[in-house]
Structure 1
């Protein structure tokens, strides 16, 4: 059986862990010099750890936002539906082996914390509540199955191009075919995601009619945030203080001073989270790594 056929057989066999299957794909892709596939395999095996890594759309899913307090225990969060929807998004950057392990070791519901900056701002404002996103294990099943299906599609495409690989070797002709037809694994990326943050070239996030993505071609997040604060916060003192902090963030973006102003903005805006929550992912993308 050729290497490509072994990969196909492994993709069809649910007893073969996806992580093991990816290692076979890595071997084949390395020999065929398919760099895009190699990058994807390494990310799946090691995790999408850095914010410079594009997160595939199958690793972004919506859960349910829950709040836990001393007096009321854990219950679904209530409030502005658009803000809750955005805070309920989960971003799975873990290695695929970790997700597979969770499937066998955890109960039917998995929890993830909300954006740490938002959680800190809420706590600093005196609210003794913690927030987390709950989601079904079916979300993890979907992620793992998508990876398996992508591998199978890729191996089928290789075979269709006449690339099989006897043993663990490929002929010169097979390598030339791979170079010419470039049968890399095809995925759709959402952009740079990391625990509630997103930024990326021409990627869009629309929440309640407000486009809160950063996009240097068509949007200025600070301009839209100023407009949202001006139009939705009635308290003049709060409004003016937030507008000044937004101006300072705009001036300090890309510098070491941005983080301090950003933190001050979160604390000052704690009473107006329904207004600013849609913009938090775009703002946090300016935080230093």
Structure 2
């Protein structure tokens, strides 16, 4: 498996990590949620973990603004996953985290959103436990919360959404997910689909075939919380057409409460000017 040295550069391959007796006390792994992209949505605990990191193993969607909060001396390793293209398998990532920790290093596994919401954090936690490596979890703001907030559309609402369900838009080995469509088709609940942009058409068809009205309000949020955020309001029947011209990363949100959503761009011009003045 390969690792990077410095900021984003990667050596060809690293044959052995760990291998011998550690030269110092045992390290530990921190599974840290980086949030949806806006650095201001990081938790204080996530910031402290980053500032203490000696190795940062990060997702491809984690911004440079957030990565730069780690010490300049910390080694950065990108394990980006984009659709079917993986720089490392999950097993390689697991072994990498364990090996660095056994060498006595403080390792931050930095994940977009929250480590336990479609982030494979559970698999990495299990690998650490099996190897006897201490592992701490730092929750993060998951994309659904940021998307809902920026659009002004609550995921739950006393009058129109008594439940919210997070689902994945892809099966473990690709293709259409195996979900309880009849349950998801019930009215007065919000369904959030992660990684569902390319599957918008079959997902919408499944929900309508199971009884969800095609007129149910729907929202697509691309790049939630980032400067490039884009929001499109539509209906369940129009979901596939609305998603066709987007490239993601994006969330699909279906439910009666999405009638409150605002369409448009992410940050206003005033917000951008304020951020630039603070920089």
| Bin of the TM-score, shorter chain as denominator length | under 0.3
With normalisation by structure 1, the TM-score equals 0.22
Structure showing greater radius of gyration is 1
Question: Whose strand fraction is larger, Structure 1's or Structure 2's?
Answer: 2
Where relative contact order (Cα < 8 A, 6+ residues apart) is larger, the structure is 1
Question: Whose helix fraction is larger, Structure 1's or Structure 2's?
Answer: 1
With normalisation by structure 2, the TM-score equals 0.23
